[in-house]
Amino acid sequence: MDIAWYLVLSALLFAIGAGGVLLRRNPLVILLCLELMLNAANLALVAFARSTGTQEGQVFALVVMVVAACEVVIGLGLIVAMFRRQLPLDVDDARKLHG
Amino acid sequence: MDPATYAWLVLLFPLVGSMVIALGWRALPGKTAGWIGTFAIAAAFLSSLGMLAMLLDEPSDSRQIVDSLYEYASAFGLEIQLAVLVDPLSVFMCLVVTGVSMLIHLYSVAYLDSDRGYARFFSYLNFFVFSMLVLILAGNFIFLIVGWAFVGFASYALISFWYRRGTATKAGMKAFVINVLGDVGLYLAAFLVFRELGTFDFLTSFEAAREEFTTNQGVVVAICLLLLVGAFAKSAQVPLHTWLPDAMEGPTPVSALIHAATMVTAGVYLIARMFPFFELAPTAADIAAFIGLATLVIAATIALVVTDLKRIIAYSTMSQIGYMVMGVSIGAYGAGLFHLMTHAFFKALLFMAAGSVIAAMANIQNIDRMGGFRRAMPLTSGLLIIGCLALAGFPGTSGFFSKDEILVYAAERGGMYWIFAVGGYIAAFLTAFYSFRIGFRVVAGKPVEEARELEQGHLAHGEPVNPATGEPEDTDVGFPGPEHHIAERAKPMAIAMSILGVLAIVGGWIQIPGVDHVLETFFEPTFEESHLYHLVPSTGTAWLGLLVGGVIALAGIGLAYLCYVARPGITLRWKERFGGLHRFLERKWYFDEIQDALVYRPAIAIGRFANSVFERFIVDGIVNGAVGIVRASSATVRGAQSGFLRAYALLLVGGFAALGIYFLVVSQ
């Protein structure tokens, strides 16, 4: 199968994720969209690895998954903290660090 | 042991004494601190005697011994040793300083008894003696400067000793500031010596100076003038003298020790020590002699009208140091130092007697209030009169021989130097008059209330007031203490004063023209290279000078007797007739006012200007301008920092997209 299809799918997933990050205000959804972007990148990596027959891309995908797991832990931790303090779950309201 | 070992011991004892008292004052009961201090100085005095004995054992041509404890600094050919110079001059000074200090410590043991700063006083006093000995024994300019500055600090600490008195702390500051001015002169002189001769060492630099410099070369005159600034500030010579009368705010033993017997003679010592430079710069030496003469006359005239007992003696000190400065500047080194020694004896005695009288008057220092103490205080009165006789130069006393030796030398040099002889004799008349103004006002006349009380056995105890301003005193720590001590009732005071009384009479007998010349011979090794030292007036001339001096002294004393005993009202009439002159003298020739107008006010005006214009517009302008620029330039950048997470994300994504597009376009 042509690698182009994989890349098109990957690009689509990435665009959806990026759009979600930019448009949605709920931090939980933003986190989900970030995951989507990371996995789109993973898909592209694995597809390239497959087409060239090398290992590096797959290994790299595994590393990205680890990073994604860490990122989710921190992100969810933040969201739980916001919930506990009864802050509104809206990233537009959390802007106290403006200059 | 060699003399240098004794020299280190001389330095060690007062330092250890000071440290022990300073660190252990809580554990020292009663008068222990005073006795520790006294014995430390006594040990130093004994070591000085040892130094003298060892030095006399050496052959006459090797009586200049330099000994170094360790190398203080060494770089680029500059070698500074922590070195002492033991020669007849330094040994002589050590003996005078430690001897007189020992007696003054002894006096203070009783005099300061009820002061709550008792241990602090002795710690300071020992530190002062240590500093003075460093100054005297120093073998190079660096060590000299260390001692010079230490002495300045010790003087400050002791003048301000009663720190509850505003006048005392101000007087301390004044003394310190003027002394620091002198220090700067000394530093600059030392730098010039180093620049020209490449060494800080005394003996080496003297040798080099004789080879390098020609007579009256600009550099050597500059060195001497800078040295004189230092000497004049320490020795209270015109116009840097105004601190000395104010320094009388300190305790009386301090006035006796520092501001009469020892520290103020440091300038005389400096000129004598640096004689090779001064002989190469006769112009500077003559300037010094003229300033000495001016101080001598000015101070003597002021002493005629001042009414504060201690301040009269202070002005008399200035005046007597004028004699010494004049003496060592015109080349009469032996005579100048001889007068330094006799002056130390009789001036310390006068201050001690004054302290006893002031105690009997319950801290009143105005001589107009005093009188008739001869029956109430026979010992003090007798010793006071002995001090006055020596100060006046009464025939046979110590001041008689030493003062006239300087003046005869001036006459012997002839030419312009006659001025010094004539001026000196005129001032001698004034000296005799004002010294018996003290003597007769205190001892003779009708007993005042305090004296009558004392005859009944009651020592006056008034409410504590500041003798200078009359304000009630804060009686916490740092005030003279409620008890008063007079020599008649305190043995240590009586012993110290009696010894000095004997010395004030016989101290001059070591150098009677035609009879003996102990000092003259003793100083020979130090002043060997001097071409002025060997000019000795003939015995006949010397006795003629003594005769003139004796007559003048008797005339002065006679006039004082007439004014204060025979016809007591006469001075009041003079005061009315010469009102303008009296006011002029009473205002101390307006020196304080002149300094105020020439130095203090301009300095304050410059300070105001700097504060209101320079500080506000220029310094603040630069600082605030820098802040403004940063703030303005950051305002634009700050707008981007909105706090909107999604805006940041958009910037990120947009940025990457823009980069991607750019590379795509470029790669085409």
**Per-residue pLDDT tens digits for B367-411:** 888 888 888 888 999 999 999 999 998 888 898 988 888 898 888
Question: What value does the mean pLDDT take over residues B248-265?
Answer: 87
B638 touches chain A (CB under 8 A): yes
- Only one residue has tokens 């056995």, namely B457
What percent helix, strand, coil does chain B show, rounded to 5? 75, 5, 20
Cis peptide before B88 (omega within 30 of 0): no
Confidence of residue A76 (pLDDT cuts 50, 70, 90): very high
Residues 6+ apart with CB under 8 A from B158: B121, B124, B125, B128, B250, B251, B254, B258
Q: Which residue in the set B640, B643, B650 is minimally distant from A95, CB to CB? A: B643
Residue B238: its pLDDT value, please?
A: 83
- A34: closest chain B residue by CA: B649
Confidence of residue B432 (pLDDT cuts 50, 70, 90): very high
Phi, psi of A48 (to 5 degrees): -65, -40
- CA A47 from chain center: how many Å? 18
Q: Which residue has the higher pLDDT, B453 or B43?
A: B43
pLDDT at B153 over 90: yes
* Fold exhibited by the domain A3-84: Helix Hairpins (1.10.287)
- Only one residue has tokens 């490449």, namely B198
Residue B101: its pLDDT value, please?
A: 93
Q: How many angstroms separate the CA of residue B632 from the nearest CA in chain A? A: 14
- Looking at chain B, the whole-number percentage of residues with pLDDT higher than 70 is 100
User: Over chain B, what is the mean pLDDT?
Assistant: 88
**Per-residue pLDDT tens digits for B86-137:** 989 999 999 999 999 999 999 999 988 888 888 899 999 999 999 999 999 9
pLDDT at A71 over 70: yes
**Per-residue pLDDT tens digits for B620-639:** 899 999 999 999 988 888 87
Q: Which residue in the set B640, B643, B646 is minimally distant from A97, CB to CB? A: B643
Going from N- to C-terminal start, the domains of chain A cover 3-84
pLDDT at B283 over 70: yes
Confidence of residue B261 (pLDDT cuts 50, 70, 90): confident
How far is Cα B568 from Cα B443, in angstroms, rounded to an integer?
14
pLDDT at A65 over 90: yes
Residue A42: its pLDDT value, please?
A: 94
pLDDT at B279 over 70: yes
**Per-residue pLDDT tens digits for A80-97:** 998 999 888 888 888 877
Which residue type, as a one-letter code, is found at position B665?
A: V
How far is Cα A68 from Cα A78, in angstroms, rounded to an integer?
15
**Per-residue pLDDT tens digits for B345-373:** 999 999 999 999 988 888 888 888 888 88
Quote the pTM value: 0.80
Beta bridge partners of B472: B465
Question: What value does the mean pLDDT take over residues B150-159?
Answer: 92
Residue B371: its pLDDT value, please?
A: 83
**Per-residue pLDDT tens digits for B168-177:** 899 999 999 9
Range 474-513 of B in CB contact (< 8 A) with A: none
B635 touches chain A (CB under 8 A): no
Among B216-225, B495-504, B581-590, the least confident range? B581-590
A98·B645 Cβ contact <8 A? no
Residue A70: its pLDDT value, please?
A: 94
Residues present in chain A in total: 99
Residue B349: its pLDDT value, please?
A: 93
B644·A99 Cβ contact <8 A? no
Secondary structure element (H or E) that encloses residue A6, with its range: helix A3-23
Residue B20: its pLDDT value, please?
A: 92
Angle ∠(B391,B595,B580) on CA atoms, nearest 5: 65
Name the 3-class secondary structure at B525. coil
- A26: closest chain B residue by CA: B646
pLDDT at A99 over 70: no
Q: Which residue in the set A18, A22, A98 is minimally distant from B643, CB to CB? A: A98
Among A51-55, B202-206, B400-404, B529-533, the least confident range? B529-533
How far is Cα B518 from Cα B534, in angstroms, rounded to an integer?
15
DSSP assignment of B598-638: IIIHHHHHHHHHIIIIIIIIIIHHHHHHHHHHHHHHHHHHH
- A90: closest chain B residue by CA: B645
